[in-house]
């Protein structure tokens, strides 16, 4: 062990640079100070046992052990390792469309490139490179924003909030107020800010679905709040059973927990289910009766493959219209994102939260919180504006936009159906029909020997399954245990973003081998 | 008061849509459930008194009362209000260069526009619009990143981390490891993640300078950790007095607080001071002796108007070289950002943190935390790469880059000097010479009558001064009380980003009137 810091360290001071002792307090002689607390055994300040233990307890499976292993394998492949039984990693663990073969929508990127480099607008070639509506939109946005390199208002650019309000009004048939909208660097960031605002220690309860996107459980764990799980019902397409949820609410309130909010993910991540208007209104009823806020994660609102999307905002406004006064106290947060839908621009970090019914004093606190990190990325705000205000029929960009949008939509729908068909044919696998979002969440019946082996290793059985899938095929999915599931049931979540049948065939073949191995 | 939700609400259910009761638990009859907890007085769930009280206690003056008032005034001006005694708001409260007259550096924006719209690379006009090195850099980055619309690794794009490591190595003369670098959506976001990781309740102490950038106090308050102030010494250009700081450390340790870290802002926000190598090494000595981590906010490292910037990393490595083994346990986090320097791209949210000496298990927890929000904005990462790897002599873009860079630098230096000269001539105002950063932080001697009036109103005296300055001139600065100051001393922080002498003259004239008013 090297000698500890000693008085000789003062030798780094030169006479001219010596620090004045005329500081704000009377200072002892320097030599004495530096040696005052000898550290015979130099130790680190930051220990795993004394850092934030709530963070330590949090789990985030989407980028957890499986994803880290997948990255290791990718590095080996890139380095020319030919000993692995596959040649590529398929990241079906994360909804990251542009890491697959999804191309960005041209109009969005044209406007983004113009706001990044406004000199392009004045180029003599501008009209030959860009359609007139992209040029016009970039000019308009720059007039409203100034530079995308300047901080915007903490809540987001006023013009963009107005544009989002117009979109919401057109979607729902009820007006929206730009003052109620907070732009955010992706929906994850909005959820984190909202939970930091409303959570006040372990007495705060927030209901979350099971299975759920683990952003919610992880963020609540970090906030040291109490996650109150409510099970989705696999037998009814992972629907919400209001009577059952009401019993969860009753039990929660009876236990003395201050039930502040309920998270609903619709369309659902990971199950792909979509709620009906009645299911939504029943949840709003429960919230109205029992005074809890609804946090509606609606980031997959454009990813609907059967039927139509209904927003919580619309359903709330309908109830408020039909039963005047009875729902005025209901508090709702609705989330949207540029990462999903046919936009798929995950890396651009755009999104927003609309807040309804919240006490203005609470909104002031949320405002203060987001102002501490100054503003969400301004180009992400621009992309949000483009998402909510795309080219319209008659615009120069509309035909290409429509073609690109429809191609992405149809491809997602088709890939979902292909994967679903494959799952239908696999022994011991059952799966709901794809309705929405970007995922399938099949149930897998695991052989008792596989379950026993997992228990021996201290792993979840579906984690064992997914790790072996990754190690034999390069296909990375997320075990159901990362989202929560009924005890004794096993699942995995896979995106249906990857192209081609190859990875589907690999999953089918692996599954057969797995069953044989543990028969 | 409208009637509360009642069993009639179940009428929103149609027969075909009614929810199955075959849920995961036995469900009671629906009617009974909906009326089970009648809310005779509908109430909101989210109350100011039961939300996160730590958030409520936090203050962030940079976008606080003054900034909100400035925004109100701006809206009135925009709406044509001619009753105000000024025609424009000068936001000298925030270091937001591109909201003033600072233009982005062309090369950065060219590459950003190309990565946003890669089709430009293939345009027949590409060579006529973009210099070859911008085209080459965009191609290279796209090859490494894929699409800027895809999530990157949570820690940031590996290639960009390597580029940052190269920059640090060239700056310091000591190598850097890309695995120790985390990209972040601006330095604020990095600080927030770091504090969330290392803070574990009120027993966690973190030393922060006074005055300080209130990001630190606010974030520690939200984390419910203990901020331990150490005063900077105004009499020595706001320097650090190590002997005095050592006494703060001793007192803190004696009080039973687990002193985990010390924040040093160098060049300093708000004071503009820069630390000498000796001051830095003395702080490292204290950290080595007393086992606390150093968090070095070095986002203003390019904003140096006298002398040279020395990084904590370089000084630590020199000590490690000169005293083998004695400093190996020292933990250091160094922050950098694309928002400051001559880049000034605040709205793009780029930056990074370099971590040295931390336990890998702790880094894993930080990794988990940042992975929950998936990744920092990828275009911000690209801009970070451009900042650390700008055009070099001989590159096609170098002459323009150099001209733009030098123009910004010289203008900042000149504006700082002008403002400083004005403060020198103001009665009762004293100010350190501008050395670094983007701010001046003059001391103002306020008349007793002004102090008394502020106390009567329950305001800080310098807040009263700054509010009157805003209301009479439109110039928005931040009172010293927002940063912390020795009791009985008063200051304000102003950027020197605004162009022209007009706002300087307004401050001078206001100050004179203020002194007369309260004489």
* Per-residue model confidence as pLDDT tens for chain B (519 residues): 333 333 332 222 233 333 333 333 333 333 333 333 334 467 899 999 999 999 999 988 777 789 889 999 999 999 999 999 999 999 999 899 999 889 999 999 999 999 999 999 999 999 999 999 999 999 999 999 999 999 999 999 999 999 999 999 999 999 999 999 999 999 999 999 999 999 999 999 999 999 988 899 999 999 999 999 999 998 888 989 999 999 999 999 999 999 999 999 999 999 999 999 999 999 999 999 999 999 999 999 999 998 899 999 999 999 999 999 999 999 999 999 999 999 999 999 999 999 999 999 999 999 999 999 889 999 999 999 999 999 999 999 999 999 999 999 999 999 999 999 999 999 999 999 889 999 999 999 999 999 999 999 999 999 999 999 999 999 999 999 989 888 899 999 999 999 888 899 999 999 999 999 999
CA–CA min distance B195, chain A (Å): 9
DSSP state of A98: G
Buried b (16+ CB within 10 A) or exposed e, B53-63: ebbbebebbbb
- The whole-angstrom separation of Cα A462 and Cα A442 is 11
Instruction: Say if residues B289 and A38 touch (Cβ distance below 8 Å).
Output: yes
Question: B32, B59, B101, B147: which to substitute to probe chain A, counting the most A Cβ within 10 Å?
Answer: B147
Within 10 angstroms of residue A245's Cβ, the number of other Cβ atoms is 25
Question: B36, B51, B194, B232: which to substitute to probe chain A, counting the most A Cβ within 10 Å?
Answer: B51
Question: A243, A310, A322, A383: which to substitute to probe chain B, counting the most B Cβ within 10 Å?
Answer: A243
Q: What is the chain A residue with the closest CA to B222?
A: A196
Within 10 angstroms of residue B264's Cβ, the number of other Cβ atoms is 24
What residues of chain B lie within 8 A of the CB of A94, using their CB?
151
- Domains along chain A? 1-43 (no CATH), 55-100+402-517 (3.90.1150.10), 151-375 (3.40.640.10)
- The whole-angstrom separation of Cα B227 and Cα B295 is 13
**Are the Cβ atoms of A241 and B365 closer than 8 angstroms?**
no
pLDDT at B217: 94
Q: Structure tokens of A269?
A: 């991540």
Under 8 Å CB-to-CB from A136, ≥6 apart: which residues?
none
Within 10 angstroms of residue B280's Cβ, the number of other Cβ atoms is 25
CA–CA min distance A423, chain B (Å): 24
- The whole-angstrom separation of Cα B339 and Cα B186 is 7
Under 8 Å CB-to-CB from A424, ≥6 apart: which residues?
A431
Under 8 Å CB-to-CB from A64, ≥6 apart: which residues?
A478, A482, B368
**Are the Cβ atoms of A17 and B282 closer than 8 angstroms?**
no
- The whole-angstrom separation of Cα A350 and Cα B246 is 45
CA–CA min distance A217, chain B (Å): 11
What residues of chain B lie within 8 A of the CB of A65, using their CB?
none
Maximum Cα interatomic distance, chain B, rounded to a whole number of Å: 82
What residues of chain A lie within 8 A of the CB of B198, using their CB?
46, 51-52
pLDDT at A20: 33
pLDDT at B41: 62
pLDDT per residue as tens digits for the range A336-393: 999 999 999 999 999 999 999 999 999 999 999 999 988 999 999 999 999 999 999 9
pLDDT at A13: 29
CA–CA min distance B319, chain A (Å): 9
**Are the Cβ atoms of B28 and A116 closer than 8 angstroms?**
no
CA–CA min distance B45, chain A (Å): 5
pLDDT at A468: 97
pLDDT at B307: 87
CA–CA min distance A23, chain B (Å): 5
Decide: residue B50, CB within 10 A, 0-12 exposed, 13-18 middle, 19+ buried.
middle
What residues of chain B lie within 8 A of the CB of A324, using their CB?
2
- The whole-angstrom separation of Cα A261 and Cα A191 is 12
Buried b (16+ CB within 10 A) or exposed e, B155-177: bbbbbbbbbbbebbeebbeeebe
Decide: residue A43, CB within 10 A, 0-12 exposed, 13-18 middle, 19+ buried.
exposed
**Are the Cβ atoms of A12 and B285 closer than 8 angstroms?**
yes
Please identify which residue in the block is written with the tokens 């004394």. Answer: A50
Beta strands in A124-189 (DSSP E): 181-183
pLDDT at B305: 93
CA–CA min distance A228, chain B (Å): 15
- The whole-angstrom separation of Cα A216 and Cα A221 is 9
**Are the Cβ atoms of B50 and A378 closer than 8 angstroms?**
no
The string of DSSP codes covering B70-126 is HHHHHHHHHTT---SS-S--EETTS--GGGTTPPPPHHHHHHHHHHH-THHHHSTTH
**Are the Cβ atoms of A200 and B52 closer than 8 angstroms?**
yes
Residue in A36, A46, A60 closest to B198 by CB: A46
Nearest to A156 by CA among A345, A352, A313: A352
The CA-based dihedral angle spanning residues B127, B132, B135, B138, taken in that order and rounded to the nearest 10 degrees: -170
pLDDT at A16: 32
pLDDT at A307: 87
Collapsing DSSP to helix, strand or coil, A486 comes out as coil
Q: In which band, very low, low, confident or very high, does the pLDDT at A5 lie, cut at 50, 70 and 90? A: very low
- The whole-angstrom separation of Cα B271 and Cα B282 is 20
**Are the Cβ atoms of A241 and B19 closer than 8 angstroms?**
yes
For the cut 80, the answer to whether the pLDDT of residue A462 exceeds it is yes
**Are the Cβ atoms of A372 and B219 closer than 8 angstroms?**
yes
pLDDT at B282: 96
The string of DSSP codes covering A176-195 is --GGGEEE-SSHHHHHHHHH
**Are the Cβ atoms of B19 and A239 closer than 8 angstroms?**
yes
pLDDT at A41: 63
Outline where A53-131 has alpha helix (H). Answer: 53-57, 65-78, 106-116, 126-129
What residues of chain B lie within 8 A of the CB of A154, using their CB?
63
**Are the Cβ atoms of A347 and B378 closer than 8 angstroms?**
yes
> Alpha carbon of B514 to those of B66, B440, B471: distances in Å?
18, 20, 12
Across the A:B interface, residue pairs with CB atoms under 8 Å apart total: 519
Q: Structure tokens of B489?
A: 């001393």
- The whole-angstrom separation of Cα A73 and Cα A384 is 35
The string of DSSP codes covering B258-275 is EEEEEEEESS-TTT----
Pairing between strand A258-265 and A204-210?
parallel
**Are the Cβ atoms of A129 and B125 closer than 8 angstroms?**
yes
**Are the Cβ atoms of A188 and B373 closer than 8 angstroms?**
yes
- Helices then strands, counting H and E runs in chain B, come out as 19, 14
pLDDT per residue as tens digits for the range A314-328: 999 999 999 999 999
Decide: residue A128, CB within 10 A, 0-12 exposed, 13-18 middle, 19+ buried.
exposed
Instruction: Say if residues A373 and B373 touch (Cβ distance below 8 Å).
Output: no
pLDDT at A65: 84
Work out whether the CA dihedral A96, A97, A101, A107 comes out positive or negative: negative
With vertex at residue B347, the alpha carbon angle to CA B345 and CA B351, rounded to the nearest 5 degrees, is 65
> For chain A, what is the mean pLDDT?
90
pLDDT per residue as tens digits for the range A6-44: 333 222 323 333 333 333 333 333 333 333 333 546 789
Instruction: Say if residues A181 and A165 touch (Cβ distance below 8 Å).
Output: yes
Q: What is the chain A residue with the closest CA to B24?
A: A233
- The whole-angstrom separation of Cα A38 and Cα A41 is 9
What residues of chain A lie within 8 A of the CB of B110, using their CB?
117
- The whole-angstrom separation of Cα B17 and Cα B10 is 12
Decide: residue A29, CB within 10 A, 0-12 exposed, 13-18 middle, 19+ buried.
exposed
pLDDT per residue as tens digits for the range A164-216: 999 999 999 999 999 999 999 999 999 999 999 999 999 999 999 999 888 99
Say how many residues make up chain B: 519
**Are the Cβ atoms of A196 and B55 closer than 8 angstroms?**
yes
The enclosing H or E element of B388 equals helix B378-388
DSSP state of B350: -
B194 — phi, psi (to 5°)?
-65, -45
For the cut 80, the answer to whether the pLDDT of residue A90 exceeds it is yes
With vertex at residue A20, the alpha carbon angle to CA A14 and CA A25, rounded to the nearest 5 degrees, is 145
Q: Structure tokens of B110?
A: 């060219």
Please identify which residue in the block is written with the tokens 């003052």. Answer: A179
Nearest to A221 by CA among A237, A236, A204, A239: A204
Buried b (16+ CB within 10 A) or exposed e, B452-461: ebbeeeebbb
Q: Structure tokens of B237?
A: 């250009």
**Are the Cβ atoms of A377 and B123 closer than 8 angstroms?**
no
CA–CA min distance B80, chain A (Å): 17
CA–CA min distance A213, chain B (Å): 11
- The whole-angstrom separation of Cα A130 and Cα A396 is 10
What's the average model confidence in pLDDT over A461-467? 96
Q: What is the chain A residue with the closest CA to B240?
A: A19
> Alpha carbon of A65 to those of A61, A69, A72, A476, B156: distances in Å?
7, 6, 11, 11, 18
DSSP state of A436: B
- The whole-angstrom separation of Cα B411 and Cα B389 is 23
Within 10 angstroms of residue A56's Cβ, the number of other Cβ atoms is 18
pLDDT at B6: 35
């Amino acid at each position: 062990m090297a000698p500890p810091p000693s008085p000789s360290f003062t030798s780094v001071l030169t006479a001219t640079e010596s620090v004045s002792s005329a500081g704000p307090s009377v200072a002892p002689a320097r030599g004495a100070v530096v040696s005052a607390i000898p550290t015979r055994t130099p130790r680190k300040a930051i220990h795993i046992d004394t850092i934030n233990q709530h963070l330590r307890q949090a789990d985030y499976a989407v980028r957890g052990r499986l994803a880290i292993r997948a990255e290791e394998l990718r590095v080996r492949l890139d380095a020319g390792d030919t000993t692995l039984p596959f040649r590529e990693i398929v990241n079906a663990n994360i909804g990251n469309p542009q890491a697959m073969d999804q191309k960005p929508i041209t109009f969005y990127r044209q406007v983004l490139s113009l706001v990044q480099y406004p000199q392009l607008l004045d180029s003599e070639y501008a009209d030959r490179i860009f359609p007139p509506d992209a040029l016009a939109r970039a000019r308009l946005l720059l007039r409203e924003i100034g530079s995308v390199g300047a901080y915007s208002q903490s809540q987001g650019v006023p013009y963009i909030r107005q544009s989002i309000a117009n979109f919401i009004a057109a979607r729902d048939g009820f007006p929206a107020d730009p003052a109620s909208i907070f732009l955010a660097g992706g929906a994850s960031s909005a959820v984190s800010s909202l939970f930091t605002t409303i959570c006040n220690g372990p007495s705060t309860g927030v209901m979350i679905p099971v299975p759920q996107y683990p952003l919610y459980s992880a963020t609540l764990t970090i906030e040291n709040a109490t996650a109150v799980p409510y099970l989705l019902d696999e037998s009814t397409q992972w629907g919400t059973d209001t009577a059952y949820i009401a019993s969860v609410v009753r039990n929660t309130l009876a236990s003395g927990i201050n039930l502040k909010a309920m998270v609903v993910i619709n369309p659902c991540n990971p199950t792909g289910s979509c709620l009906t208007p009645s299911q939504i209104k029943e949840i709003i009823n429960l919230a109205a009766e029992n005074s809890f806020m609804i946090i509606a994660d609606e980031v997959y609102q454009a990813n609907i493959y059967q039927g139509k999307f209904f927003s919580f905002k619309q359903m709330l406004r309908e109830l408020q219209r039909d039963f005047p006064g009875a729902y005025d106290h209901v508090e709702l947060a609705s989330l949207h994102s540029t990462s999903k839908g046919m936009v798929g621009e995950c890396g651009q970090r755009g999104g927003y939260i609309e807040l309804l019914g919240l006490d203005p004093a609470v909104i002031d606190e949320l405002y203060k919180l987001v102002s501490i990190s100054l503003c969400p990325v301004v180009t992400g705000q621009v992309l949000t504006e483009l998402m909510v205000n795309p080219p319209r029929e008659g615009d120069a960009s509309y035909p290409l936009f429509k073609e690109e949008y429809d191609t992405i939509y149809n491809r997602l729908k088709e890939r979902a159906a292909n994967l679903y068909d494959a799952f239908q044919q696999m022994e011991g696998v059952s799966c709901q029909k794809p309705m929405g979002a970007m995922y399938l969440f099949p149930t897998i019946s695991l052989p008792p020997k596989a379950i026993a082996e997992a228990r021996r290793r201290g792993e979840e059985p579906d984690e064992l399954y997914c790790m072996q899938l990754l190690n034999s095929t390069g296909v990375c999915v997320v075990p159901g245990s990362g989202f929560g599931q009924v005890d004794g049931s096993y699942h995995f979540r896979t995106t249906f973003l990857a192209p081609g049948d190859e990875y589907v065939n690999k999953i089918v073949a692996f599954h057969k081998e797995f069953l044989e191995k543990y028969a």
